[in-house]
Amino acid sequence: MPVDNRSLDAAARRIGDRWSLRIVGALLDADRTFGELSADVDGIAPTILTARLRTLQRLGLVVAEPYERRPPRMRYALTQSGRDLATAIASLAAWGAGHEGRRSSQVHGTCGTPVEPRLWCPTCEQVVGEDHRAHGHDDDVDELIWC
């Protein structure tokens, strides 16, 4: 399945560095304070965390809500646009784990089985493989499912 290079470039420009990906990944479970993010994103310097959070806010992926006025302290949360990255980030993480010989650390909450991202066609409700063009409706293949 060919990927639209302009769309991929746009995504990379918005969130194409490892720190931003890891920050968004840390915020997928719950909102976090600066200190919690600093602890969750191993190895990030406070200045880098501050800069990436500002960039993510400017891009409309993260919002900061004050939880204390003096001194000013913020709690960070994903916007809907930021939450929309969940599938993409989980897919990248699963791909990275697989290429290091590990299994995905994300598991299905009900049965505990590691989840795997799959493209699927919402028209015929089939998982898409190499023969996705055989269905004759490429344009509908735009969603990922987790099973």
For 93-120, give one letter per residue: b (16+ CB within 10 A) or e: bbeeeeeeeeebebeeeeeeeebbbebb
CA distance 11 to 122: 23
DSSP state of 115: P
Q: Which domains does the chain have, with CATH numbers?
A: 1-84 (1.10.10.10), 103-147 (no CATH)
| pLDDT tens per residue, range 89-108 | 877 877 787 777 776 666 77
pLDDT at 105: 66
Reference 55, options 109, 17, 89, 9; nearest CA is: 17
From 40-54, 60-74, 97-111, 125-139, the region with the lowest mean pLDDT:
125-139
| pLDDT tens per residue, range 33-59 | 999 999 999 999 999 999 999 999 999
User: Which is more confidently placed, 51 or 126?
Assistant: 51
The model's pTM is 0.70
Which two three-digit tokens encode residue 32? 């976090």
User: Which is more confidently placed, 97 or 19?
Assistant: 19
CB 56 within 8 A of CB 20: yes
Output the average pLDDT for the chain: 81
